[in-house]
Amino acid sequence: MPAAPHPEGTDPCSDHGGEGPTVLDLPNVPMALKREWLEAETRRHFLARGSKALAWAGLATLLGRSAPHLLADTSALPDRRPHFAPKAKRAIYLFMAGAPSQFETWDYKPKLSGMFAQNLPESVRGGQVLTGMTASQAGLPIAPSLFKFSQQGRSGQWVSELFPHTGKVVDELCVIKSLYTEAINHEPAILTMTTGNMFPGRPSLGSWLAYGLGAINEELPTFVVMTSKMPVKQNVQALSNRLWSSGFLSPEYAAVALRSGSEPVLYLKDPRGLSRDMRQAMISGVSELNRQLFERVGDPEINTRISQYEMAFRMQASVPDLSDFSDEPASTWDLYGPKAREPGTFAYNCLMARRLAERGVRFTQIFLRTWDNHTNLPAGIRAMCEDSDRPTYGLITDLKRRGMLDDTLVVWGGEFGRTVYSQGTLTADNYGRDHHPRCFSMWMCGAGTKPGMTYGETDDFSYNIVKDPVHVRDLHATILHQFGFDHNKLTFKSQGLDQKLTGVLPARVIPEVLA
Amino acid sequence: MRSPGLLLLAALACSAEPATFDGRVAQVLRDNCSQCHGERKQKAGLRLDSHAAVLLGSKDGPVVEPGNVGASELARRISLSPLDDDFMPSGEHPPLSPSEISLLKAWIAAGAPATTPFDSPAMEPAAAPPPAAPDYGPRLALARALAGELGVTLVPRSRIQTDGLILRTAGAPSRCDDQALARLAPVSDLIVEAELARTRVTDKGMEAVGAWKNLRRLDVTRTAVTSDGLAFLAPLQLLESLNLTQTRVDGRGLALARKFPALRRIWAFEGP
């Protein structure tokens, strides 16, 4: 704990003619920074604080402590204990942004092969409204998957030829074919998947977990996001930090986004000539000033700022080790493939996710974009799978052989499904698919999910769900359950409501997918 | 106005397979209402034992307005004070629980579909797990103080105070050594999981761990532990999982470990 500031007038070290030291007296802090602070002083703060610019207690901290520390207002901290003993300690969420087609990936529809180019029967669609993208088409011609499926593993699940590697671990996967959502466009749908709500401003799943569980390792962020290099340059959807924001939770629960490239965190390296000690003194000083500011104005954002400075400082030490892959055994590259050496690729990010998990990061979300195959789907999805199949397999296998799959949940999936009918011209070897929120496929693996099973069923056209529907809320409830939380009880009061990830409509844990 | 989302949901329900009405909503109605609104009696001409009948309503008209809770007589009846004359279920029947009431309302709000996720039985609250360790309550402060001193953390596995503690070292693995493990003795019976990967512990430390009688899971990935150290773990009657990844434990050690009475999972990736 920081030393308690001395009440006005009782400062035992108050000399300087009663004036006390000023910011300018801080040792080892560049002059420019001191000036910036002084200029940032507002009149109100100045008046509120009186003439004593910096309590001696602060200086003592600066001079005497060896490490920066958190201002731990423990009374404001949530109870970090899960409601019951968790199965999952961490999760790696492979977010396939843009919405991979279920037809070519996990929802095998053999009957379609005899229906090439036939119009989708009215009875299947049931009058459901079409999107603007396909409403003006002359017809809704059925496009069977161009890719073959075969039964693999002891579980005999149907695997697409696009997943030659993932097929080898299909006995680890719990495939859910009956996800559905209300959102039909990317941004709201991705927001629904990441935050449980299509409107921006809610905390992300990872933020809820960070809030509920706290960190395993204080040297690293609890929630990390990585976006991957795009395998193709078409159908690019923007990804914004709304997707990993902490919403109304304290900003400290937002994800730290690791960049691709040689510097995963920008500005983390000290500029030349600034020693680590100097940096430490500076951050301690800034934290102390912020702490005093907090004492006066009580804005919780200030604590967040303090913890971010201090986190950044700790990451300066922990991140270089994290991104130095030279300690990886040769078998790693055999698993993830050669692309894993190239920063920013999906393969690299998968390996990085394992390294983060080893070091205690709770939730790592890897985004892989450009699954949005409105046109030229066969070529597009082939490129996507070529890029991601082997690393996905690599990650699962790697976690498993290291004994980490036991308590690491891996989730794979996009934000909605795609249509059985072709968007645009259908030919023997080319077609596209439009957005389809009424059913889509995902899989989970590890951390007490049931391995080698398929849950839920869609009709022969993968248009409607016919068995065991799973709303995004149910998925969220199930994930929280694996982390030891009753989704109805992991709440945070905001705007007069006990907010929760799963919102107000009923959500249920899916016991059938749990081992 | 119904939101497009709700319409979609309703549409989903209508276009799904023939309406089965056998989920939780149906069950709540069956358990609480069908004795007066079912096969034998139809008070007010109302039956609540099939989806069609619920939507059909009573002799006075519909009792459910899909998508509009406020206009639904059924929702109003179940939400009244139990002392109100109109309150349902009437008679001696106990009132619905708050969660049953909110389920029915949410179902109406979602368009009163026949098949929806509401149709799946809710996860029953798990029965209290058997105690994994003595109640940590009385010694939590002690455990935390000790951990703080040693540079490790001891965290409750859950709010259930007999679920035990997890020993964590990931924040500063280099601070955890054999001595630290020995010093945890006063709280060692509370430790159910020990995460010692990348720490400086050696075989000597395993001697201390061998006395942690409630330990279920032990991870010594990338430590100096060898087969000699494993011999110390033999007394652990509850040890279920043992992670020896990147250690020098060899065939001899693995053979030893396989004899541990409760051991179910063992990993030795990248051993010697």
Domain ranges of chain A: 22-74, 90-257+365-513
Helix (H, G, I), strand (E, B) or coil at A275: coil
Which residue in A has a C-alpha nearest to residue B193's C-alpha? A85
Number of domains observed in the structure of chain B: 2
Query: Which of chain B's residues have a Cβ under 8 Å away from the Cβ of A503?
Result: none
Q: Is B43 exposed, middle or buried (0-12, 13-18, 19+ CB in 10 A)?
A: middle
This model of the complex carries an ipTM of 0.80
Of B103, B132, B159, the CB nearest to A83: B159
Q: Which two tokens stand for residue A486?
A: 């009753």
Q: Residue A481: CA atoms inside 13 Å, Cβ hemisphere, count?
A: 22
Within 184-243 of B, beta carbons closer than 8 Å to A belong to: 197, 219, 221, 241, 243
Question: Is B256 within a domain?
Answer: yes
Residues B154, B262 within the same domain: yes
* Contact by Cβ (8 Å): B77, B86: yes
Contact B16 A466 (CB under 8 A): yes
Residues B111, B198 within the same domain: no
Question: Is B178 within a domain?
Answer: yes
Distance CA A312, CA A301 (A): 16
- Amino acid identity for residue B199 in this structure: T
Q: What is the CATH number of domain A90-257+365-513?
A: 3.40.720
Show the domain range for B86.
Answer: 4-123
pLDDT (tens, 9 = 90+) of chain A, 515 residues, equals 344 444 433 333 333 444 445 666 666 667 666 666 655 554 445 444 443 333 333 333 333 333 333 333 333 456 889 999 999 999 999 999 999 999 999 999 999 999 999 999 999 998 888 888 888 888 999 999 999 999 999 999 999 999 999 999 999 999 999 999 999 999 999 999 999 999 999 999 999 999 999 999 988 999 999 999 999 887 787 888 899 999 999 888 999 888 766 667 766 677 778 787 888 888 888 888 888 888 888 777 787 778 777 777 888 777 888 888 999 999 999 999 999 999 999 999 999 999 999 999 999 999 999 999 999 999 999 999 999 999 999 999 999 999 999 999 999 999 999 999 999 999 999 999 999 999 999 999 999 999 999 999 999 999 999 999 999 999 999 999 999 999 999 999 888 888 999 998 999 999 999 98
When pLDDT is averaged across residues B104-129 and rounded to a whole number, the result is: 66
In chain B, the N- to C-terminal Cα span, in Å, equals: 69
Reference A96, options A431, A370, A444; nearest CA is A370
**Shortest CA gap B231–chain A (Å):** 21
A445 phi/psi in degrees, rounded to 5:
-160, 140
Q: How many CB atoms are located within 10 Å of the residue A394 CB? A: 24
**Which of B81, B101, B123 represents a domain boundary (last residue)?**
B123
- Percentage of chain B lying above the pLDDT 90 cut: 64
Report how many Cβ contacts below 8 Å link chain A to chain B: 115
Please say if the pLDDT value at position B11 is more than 60.
Answer: no
Query: Which of chain A's residues have a Cβ under 8 Å away from the Cβ of B243?
Result: 402-403
Question: Is B131 within a domain?
Answer: no
**Which of B123, B145, B162 represents a domain boundary (last residue)?**
B123
Task: Fill in the DSSP letter of residue A513.
Answer: G
**Which of B101, B123, B145 represents a domain boundary (last residue)?**
B123
User: Each residue of B53-73: b (16+ CB within 10 Å) or e?
Assistant: bbeebbeeeebbbbbebeebb
In chain A, the N- to C-terminal Cα span, in Å, equals: 43
pLDDT in tens, B32-63: 898 899 989 999 999 998 888 999 999 999 99
Structure confidence at residue A266 (pLDDT): 66
When pLDDT is averaged across residues B1-10 and rounded to a whole number, the result is: 40
Please say if the pLDDT value at position B26 is more than 50.
Answer: yes
Structure confidence at residue B243 (pLDDT): 97
Structure confidence at residue B157 (pLDDT): 96
Question: Is B163 within a domain?
Answer: yes
Which residue in B has a C-alpha nearest to residue A222's C-alpha? B171
Contact B171 A219 (CB under 8 A): yes
**Shortest CA gap A75–chain B (Å):** 16
Distance CA B11, CA B4 (A): 10
Please say if the pLDDT value at position B16 is more than 50.
Answer: no
**Shortest CA gap A299–chain B (Å):** 28
The CA-atom distances, in angstroms, between A301 and each of A71, A251, A358, A467 are 12, 8, 30, 47
Query: Which of chain B's residues have a Cβ under 8 Å away from the Cβ of A509?
Result: 123
**Shortest CA gap A213–chain B (Å):** 10
Of B15, B159, B160, the CB nearest to A464: B15
Q: Which two tokens stand for residue A115?
A: 């229906």
The CA-atom distances, in angstroms, between B117 and each of A193, A461, A467 are 17, 21, 10
Structure confidence at residue A23 (pLDDT): 62
**Shortest CA gap B264–chain A (Å):** 12
Query: Which residue's structure tokens are 């009918």?
Result: A421
Which residue in B has a C-alpha nearest to residue A403's C-alpha? B267
Question: Is B86 within a domain?
Answer: yes
* Contact by Cβ (8 Å): A246, A253: yes
Do the strands A417-422 and A433-436 form a parallel or antiparallel pair, or are they unpaired?
A: antiparallel
Residues B253, B141 within the same domain: yes
Structure confidence at residue B9 (pLDDT): 40
Instruction: Give the CATH number, domain containing residue B158.
Output: 3.80.10.10
Query: Which of chain B's residues have a Cβ under 8 Å away from the Cβ of A182?
Result: 4-5, 8-9
Structure confidence at residue A419 (pLDDT): 97
Of A218, A402, A505, the CB nearest to B267: A402
Q: Of residues A204 and B125, which shows the higher confidence score?
A: A204
Distance CA A161, CA A65 (A): 59
Question: Is B182 within a domain?
Answer: yes
Question: Is B234 within a domain?
Answer: yes
E-assigned strands of A167-300?
173-180, 223-227, 256-258
Query: Which of chain B's residues have a Cβ under 8 Å away from the Cβ of A218?
Result: 171
* Contact by Cβ (8 Å): A468, B117: no
When pLDDT is averaged across residues B168-193 and rounded to a whole number, the result is: 96
Stated pTM of the model: 0.73
Structure confidence at residue B127 (pLDDT): 61
Helix (H, G, I), strand (E, B) or coil at A395: helix
Structure confidence at residue A25 (pLDDT): 66
| C-alpha torsion A217→B237→B229→B254, nearest 10 | -100
Which of B158, B174, B221, B222 is best to mutate for the A interface (most A CBs within 10 A)? B158
Question: Is B272 within a domain?
Answer: no
Please say if the pLDDT value at position B5 is more than 70.
Answer: no
Contact A219 B115 (CB under 8 A): no
A115 phi/psi in degrees, rounded to 5:
-120, 20
